[in-house]
């Protein structure tokens, strides 16, 4: 584990620096991801439990209905068969949600593959919708068709997307109608992903600190979400930043180079 005490007020460490010009080591990236992922997992576990209540409740209700149908003097076999089909659908839906979560956190470490960000985002989107729905936030995803491929460690990039959307959802809570938008685009040289909230924006006094390790404005926050995201993006030869969103709020973005060939 990284020791928060080893960092000075500028977010630097003599042996493991996130802010230096040299590329971050694979070990450092993995350490940061492990810490940030643990925090994300706690949030997701709560959401998963909440989400599973619906299919489990449906299964219990249908089971009771089926039992009553088959317990009648003249069993309603046809109706019971239909109820069993509903139970199967509810169970399959719950199981697919759990398998999707496992895929996000069980991918091979360090493997770079050619993917389109539309595909990567599409696999993560159900989890992001779950996260947004729990807080009453509307999530809108707008993707440019036929984005060029990028060479990425998919698990790491999905971590970045999760962090940015999670932060945007929290920022949007200050709005009467919380809204988070995800937009993808390309200029032919890079592929850009932007996550936009409609919150109150980032105070000027905090802007220079926002990507520093262990800097956080959240109670109980690790301060590693954005720091680890910056490390991941820079290890992919990309860039990450933020600016004010039109109409209020903040727009966080990252750009990854288009894969050669």
Q: pLDDT tens digit string along 61-110?
A: 888 888 888 898 888 888 888 888 888 888 887 776 666 555 555 544 56
Share of residues in the chain with pLDDT > 70 (%):
69
> What is the reported pTM?
0.60
| Ramachandran quadrant class, 259 (left: phi over 0; alpha: psi -120 to 50; beta: rest) | beta
Listed residue (46, 57, 52) closest to 94, CA to CA: 52
42 part of a folded domain: no
33 part of a folded domain: no
The mean pLDDT value of the chain amounts to: 76
31 part of a folded domain: no
pLDDT band at 15 (very low <50, low <70, confident <90, very high): very low
Residue 136 belongs to domain spanning = 111-257
44 part of a folded domain: no
The CATH number assigned to the domain holding 151 equals 3.30.565.10
Between CA 139 and CA 67 the distance in angstroms is 40
Residue 250, pLDDT above cutoff 90? yes
227 part of a folded domain: yes
pLDDT digits (tens, 9 = 90+) for 111-157: 789 999 999 998 888 888 888 888 899 999 999 888 999 999 888 89
175 part of a folded domain: yes
The string of DSSP codes covering 156-209 is: HHHHHHHHHHHHHHHHHTTSSS-EEEEEEEE-SSEEEEEEEE-SS---GGGGGG
135 part of a folded domain: yes
247 part of a folded domain: yes
Q: How many domains, in total, are found in the chain?
A: 1
């Amino acid at each position: 584990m990284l020791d928060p005490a080893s960092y000075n007020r500028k977010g630097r460490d003599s042996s493991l620096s996130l802010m230096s010009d040299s590329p971050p080591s694979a070990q450092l990236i993995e350490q940061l991801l492990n810490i940030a992922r643990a925090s994300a997992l706690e949030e997701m576990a709560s959401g998963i439990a909440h989400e599973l209540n619906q299919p489990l409740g449906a299964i219990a209700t249908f089971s009771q209905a089926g039992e009553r149908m088959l317990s009648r003097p003249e069993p309603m076999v046809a109706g019971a068969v239909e109820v069993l089909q509903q139970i199967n659908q509810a169970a399959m839906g719950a199981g697919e949600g759990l398998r999707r979560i496992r895929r996000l956190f069980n991918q091979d470490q360090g493997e770079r593959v050619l993917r389109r960000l539309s595909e990567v985002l599409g696999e993560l989107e159900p989890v992001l919708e779950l996260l947004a729905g729990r807080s009453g936030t509307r999530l809108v995803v707008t993707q440019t068709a036929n984005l060029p491929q990028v060479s990425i460690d998919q698990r790491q990039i999905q971590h970045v997307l999760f962090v940015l959307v999670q932060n945007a959802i929290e920022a949007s809570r200050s709005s009467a109608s919380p809204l988070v938008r995800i937009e993808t685009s390309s200029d032919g040289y890079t592929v850009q992903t932007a996550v936009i909230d409609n919150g109150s924006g980032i105070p000027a006094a905090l802007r220079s600190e926002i990507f520093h390790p262990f800097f956080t404005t959240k109670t109980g926050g690790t301060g590693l979400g954005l720091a680890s995201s910056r490390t991941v993006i820079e290890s992919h030869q990309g860039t990450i930043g933020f600016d004010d969103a039109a109409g209020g709020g903040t727009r966080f973005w990252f750009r990854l180079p288009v894969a050669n060939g």
